[in-house]
Amino acid sequence: MLSHPLGRSVLACVTLATYGIATTVVTVNGSASHITPRLLYGQMFEDINSGDGGIYAEMLQNRAFQQVTPNTTAALYAWNTINGAGINVIADPSPVSSALPNSLQLTIPEGASGSIGFGNEGYYGIQINSGWTYNASFYYKFPVTSSFEGAATIALQSAEGQVYASASVSLIGSQTTWNKVAVHLKPTLSPMSTANNFTVTLNAAEAAGETIDFAMFSLFPPTFKGRANGLRIDIATTLYEMKPSFFRLPGGNNLGGTWATRWQWNATVGPLVDRPGRMGDWGYINTDGLGLLEYMYLCEDMEMEPIMAVWAGYSLDGESLPDDALDPYIQQATDQINFVIGDPTVNEYAALRASLGHPEPFPLTYVEIGNEDFFASDSYIYRWKYFAGNLTAAFPQLRFIATTYPFDPILDPVPLQYDNHVYQTPGWFIENAFYYDSFERNGTYYFQGEYAAISLNVSDVFGDGRLMYPTIESSIGEAAYMTGLERNSDIVFAASYAPLLMNVANYQWTPNLIAFDASEVYPSTSYYVQQLFSVNRGTEYLPSTVPTYNGTLYWSVTHDSSASTVLIKVVNVDSTSAPMTFNLPFEVASAGFATVLTGPPTASNSPTTPNAIVPITSPMTFSKSFNFTAPAYSVTVLTTQFV
């Protein structure tokens, strides 16, 4: 990442000797230097075992047999047979849709007895809650006409067979075209274990010798804000409580590992049976049930704005399309944007959005062209030219973000926004708390689209020394860096920790902001840092004495004009507490609060210690000049009001 001389003076930190202990004195200027950007803090999403089986509330894994090879054992992952039934994934000669060519074929052997059928184990478990009503559905048909008429039992049950909820549907042998059935399941108990199954069974004696095809299964619990095909409540609520202002989607590298498997917006909208899914870039199949419209509803329901990426001719396998082959993909990006913001009376893709229930355009300001194109900067020179040039002409009201290193290479048209990514050690983030101070104020703005302290040793940043979960040490380092983001928020318009979510049962990247399993959510220490900064960001940045470069204390002062509050963030990266004196240029109320996140440097929140480190809020007395002692290894938000 390239920096540029700022050409402005930096005030040194002032300390006073008090009883042999150095007291840091911070003098605050009463005149705001700049408005805090409205999108300063948000979330970067990438489906790394965190969309399907994570924030997307669908509970059945491999629900539609997408992108699998028929007649293989692998095609049956997450499914199991019950009482000797025959099950196989077939290439259906008459599929439920052209997008879903495969179906599950059930064969009931002659001479069988008892309940017989199949089950799905969910995404590493299924949470069963007696306070919920579940919506279950599937399609079925008989491949040849049969005289059979009988009941199928749809159930939620333990791995040992204890039934918690069940409902019956009639299956009719003369039904040789696809028919959808749906039931509500209301459990009678809430088992502690998530080792449960969704099952479909028949009376073997009645159904002996029958063959039945099934397709497009679904099991949904209640969702966030009741949205159909929506979000898992506990994960979505945890994200919402960060008070994010933006959501970066459809996510970093998952934009496209190869040309053939790239994310294509038009394959992710409309009825679920019309979504083929794709092999994601992290080695597993994406159902695309969480598609472009669902992303927009996610933003709407969480009261934030999308920062949306378009595929720009480069894939992670190293393939860059030549400049004379880009036109169809520029058109696809144009159509994607029109789906989000277009006028349905004049644009067919905006009309598609309207037909799906949202006639009004969604808010959209920023569009990212590609992802991490510093890996292919030579081809990005022409790809940026054609994508940015054409999209800017079509949507002059939007702002387009480049994804190479700032000013390296030189691009035409000149980008007005760049996306920076950095994964490093806590020490690096502390040392680079002044990273953006040296950038020129030349009309260019920066999106810190991905960042995290992922290792304690620089030689192991992408090696075996990776952190499993964020620690106090890593989170405090990030917090020191974030004070620099606030100080430089005249040019840093947005920032998001990455990655966002981690399924502890199956993951490819560590650490992550929030961990989860089939029933619980585990906010990390870095989550609480992000939350403290986001919830307490203020509307204006107030200059103050500048922290010492590579020191142990870092701070940022903002003013929230809507609430008439002063918000002071203090980060102490040292192993000892540090006395401070704050001199304010205005009178403040004597009563206020201090919210502190602190703990041993190696402490972390995990499934075994989920609440080891959480912020604690206590009352505090303020005055125009007041003293504060920053605890060792801490992030503190001091809050008081103007008088």
Is the pLDDT at 10 greater than 60, yes or no? no
Q: Categorize the per-residue pLDDT at 458 as very low, low, confident or very high, splitting at 50, 70 and 90.
A: confident
Give φ, ψ of 416 to 5 degrees: -100, -10
Whole-number pLDDT of residue 54: 97
Is the pLDDT at 103 greater than 80, yes or no? yes
What is d(CA 295, CA 272) in angstroms, rounded to the nearest whole number?
Answer: 15
pLDDT tens track for 496-540: 999 999 999 999 999 999 999 999 999 999 999 999 999 999 999
What is d(CA 27, CA 583) in angstroms, rounded to the nearest whole number?
Answer: 5
Find the farthest-apart pair of alpha carbons in the chain and give their distance in angstroms, rounded: 94
pLDDT tens track for 370-380: 999 999 999 99
Output the DSSP codes for 520-536: -EEE-HHHHHHHHHHHT
Token pair of 588, please?
A: 């403040």
Percentage of the chain with pLDDT > 90? 93
pTM of structure = 0.95
Q: Categorize the per-residue pLDDT at 4 as very low, low, confident or very high, splitting at 50, 70 and 90.
A: very low
Q: 487 pairs with which residues across the strands?
A: none
In CATH, the architecture of 24-36+542-641 is Sandwich (2.60)
Is the pLDDT at 16 greater than 60, yes or no? no
Whole-number pLDDT of residue 20: 55
Boundaries of every domain in the chain: 24-36+542-641, 73-220
Q: Categorize the per-residue pLDDT at 3 as very low, low, confident or very high, splitting at 50, 70 and 90.
A: very low
Whole-number pLDDT of residue 8: 27
Strand, coil or helix: 236 = helix
- Complete edge-to-edge strand list for the sheet that includes strand 521-523: 501-503, 514-516, 521-523
Closest by CA to 383, choosing from 366, 369, 395, is: 369
Q: Categorize the per-residue pLDDT at 121 as very low, low, confident or very high, splitting at 50, 70 and 90.
A: very high
pLDDT tens track for 193-207: 999 999 999 999 999
Whole-number pLDDT of residue 326: 98
pLDDT tens track for 252-284: 899 999 999 999 999 999 999 999 999 999 989
3-state secondary structure 59-119: CCCCCCCCCCCCCCHHHHCCEEEECCCEEEEEECCCCCCCCCCEEEEEECCCCCCCEEEEE
Percentage of the chain with pLDDT > 70? 97
What is d(CA 597, CA 637) in angstroms, rounded to the nearest whole number?
Answer: 9
Four-way CATH pick for 73-220: 3.40.462.40, 3.40.50.2300, 2.60.120.260, 1.10.10.10: 2.60.120.260
What is d(CA 504, CA 500) in angstroms, rounded to the nearest whole number?
Answer: 13
Is the pLDDT at 7 greater than 80, yes or no? no
